Chain A
Amino acid sequence: MSAAATRRPEPAEDLSAAEQQAEKARGRVGVGLIVPGFVFLLLFFAAPVFVLLAMSLYARPPGAETGVFVPAFEVSNYVVALSEYWVPLLRSFLFAAIATVLALFIGYTMAYLVAVRLRQQKLLASILLVILIAPFFSSFVLRTQAWKQILSDEGFVVEVLRFVAILPEDGRLTATAFAVVAGLTYNFLPFMALPIYASLERLDTRLLEAAGDLYASPMTAFRKVTLPLSMPGVFAGTLLTFIPASGDYINATILGNNRDTAMIGQVIDSRFFKIVDYPTAAALSAVLMVIILILVMAYIRKFGTKELF
């Protein structure tokens, strides 16, 4: 449904005093509704981000114990953070981007199968939809650990791949970039498939019949009708996959866990808790956040639809 259909009429100049009064009262109700949540977000989202930014400028006084910092304007934290960790930072975005593209293809196929191909077989479609939602309810960490064991050197998958010579005799899957990207793709697949499903489900299949009547090949009909109409879902899905994937470090830790697969989340976590170097960790977090915001904003500019933002 379009926004226009539900939008209230603009207040006209010649509203009577009583109507103006009513409009004001409505406004007060609206403010009353959003204020509690708004205050919560100011206290526990906006303020924390500012505290984090401030912390990224803290300095360690000479001779202080581990973990002791004082407020300062130490910009060099950023220099240290970026010069030491630009590789995991770039790798995070690269892995997240690959996982997002893979999840887009896989998730689109799944959503298309359920929402368009199986539209007449309601029961089968419902079952597949349940499977699509199912991963939400089994633990993320536990599933990732299961992946590690499935891909392990003694596992069935590696043995088969070695047998058919896709993997060399001593080849392995765990502790590789492949395993990390496969884990990211797997873990965020429902976040991609569900929004696409939601927009494909609303697709009027008569449009496809009409395209066929006008001699469009199925491929052309897909490209010119289905795909454009599912763009809001694709848009939401890519954001819901890319953003969490670029900050995730469960996959990188469990499935990779070596220098060549380290993602930035791992670095931030260990800077905070193992090395107790808050300023560098905060600087890295700030950099991560700013880059993602820039990427997301550019993406929304380019592909954004009214339905979302």
Chain B
Amino acid sequence: MRLKQHMGRWLVPVLGGLAFVYLLVPIAYIFVFSFNDAGRTNLTWQGFTFSNWQNPCGAPNICDALGNSLSIAFVATIIATVLGTAIALGLARYKFRFRKLADILIILPLATPEVVLGASLLAQFLNLGWQLGYWTVVISHVTFCMAFVVVTVRARVSSLDGRLEEAAGDLYASPRTTFWKVTFPLLLPGIMAAALLSFAMSFDDFIIANFNSGTFDTFPKFIYVAATRGIPAQANVIGSGIFLIALAIVVVGTVISYRRQKALAAR
């Protein structure tokens, strides 16, 4: 009985802890090997150096690919967030005909594997005779991120307290004022989360970009191609750098919300 109780208490922390280690090991590996004095291929440990960090663009074309990915993720996120948020509001708040159909069309990209989405967009671009490159990747990323934005923002819209808007109306706020002063600020955290998710997904996407970019290089494509010859240590520097920046943003966000919660609890 004792043993069973002990197991019950420790099973979840131990297994959960192991799972967190599993999640972190490759990330730690990337970080450690960013300090590898590796030369061209970063496969085995050759000794410690800061030189990769001093010159992250040292490998040919790596920073061009990085810049392309950042630019695409930025543009695609803005378009997907604007279109997706509008759809989420439209679907959650208003009634019109063909709503069920609209629902399906918007959710369907989520149920489509990336390889199929990439292939069908390629077929469409070939059909339209469009040159593959920057804009075809942007368009394909908007398609793929928009559904995530809709789902995320919509969850936020439906958890809004409608009474707040009614109260604003009772206080003679026009619908427009109510939207910008009440609804939008309440939705903003959801919209920001959706935008962040969209940026991360676009930046990280390989499969769709591989289908729709032609000879245009993105960062994941660069690494995928380099993997056959050996990835330069600079890729680990850039991977770790992005990771650290993102971590800092998430930590700051968490601390802010943690403090806010504490302040609320103290009241």
Contact = CB atoms under 8 A, between A and B. Distances in A.
Nearest to B249: A137
Given A37-B83, A48-B121, A117 B12 contact: yes
Interface of B: 8, 12-13, 15-17, 19-20, 22-27, 29-30, 33, 43-44, 83-84, 86-87, 89-96, 102, 105-117, 119-124, 127, 139-140, 142-143, 146, 150, 158-160, 162, 197, 200, 204, 206-207, 210-211, 219-220, 223-224, 227, 231, 235-236, 239-240, 242-243, 246-247, 250-251, 254-255, 258, 261
Given A149-B29, A248-B207, A109 B16 contact: yes
A44 interface: yes
B23 A141 contact: no
Contacts of A130: 247, 250-251, 254
A267 B235 CA distance: 28
Contacts of A12: none
A284 B30 CA distance: 35
Given A141-B206, A272-B122, 11 more contacts: A6-B158, A31-B90, A45-B105, A46-B105, A109-B19, A128-B20, A131-B24, A134-B24, A139-B204, A288-B116, A309-B107
A126 B115 CA distance: 34
Interface string A27-49: 10111111011101110111111
Per DSSP, chain A at the interface is helix
Contacts of A42: 105
Nearest to A11: B95
A150 B90 contact: no
22 contacts: A30-B95, A31-B94, A33-B89, A38-B106, A44-B139, A44-B142, A45-B105, A46-B105, A49-B120, A52-B123, A52-B124, A113-B13, A114-B16, A135-B27, A137-B246, A146-B26, A239-B110, A243-B110, A247-B115, A250-B224, A285-B116, A285-B119
A36 B84 CA distance: 9
B162 A6 contact: yes
A52 B210 contact: no
How many interface residues does chain A have, given as a range?
A: 35 or more
Nearest to A145: B227
B125 to A, nearest CB: 8
A260 B42 CA distance: 27
Contact of A112 (B16, B124, B220): B16
A89 interface: no
Interface class of chain B by DSSP: helix
B249 to A, nearest CB: 9
A145 B123 contact: no
B243 A134 contact: yes
A302 B119 CA distance: 30
Contacts of B30: 138, 142-143, 146
Nearest to A58: B123
B242 A138 contact: yes
A142 to B, nearest CB: 5
A109 B27 CA distance: 21
A272 B208 CA distance: 13
Contact of B142 (A29, A40, A106, A219): A40
A186 interface: yes
B28 to A, nearest CB: 9
A141 B223 contact: yes
Nearest to A263: B115
A86 interface: no
Nearest to B220: A141
Interface in A266-287: 268-269, 272, 278, 281-282, 285-286
Contacts of A244: 113-114
A55 interface: yes
A213 B109 CA distance: 46
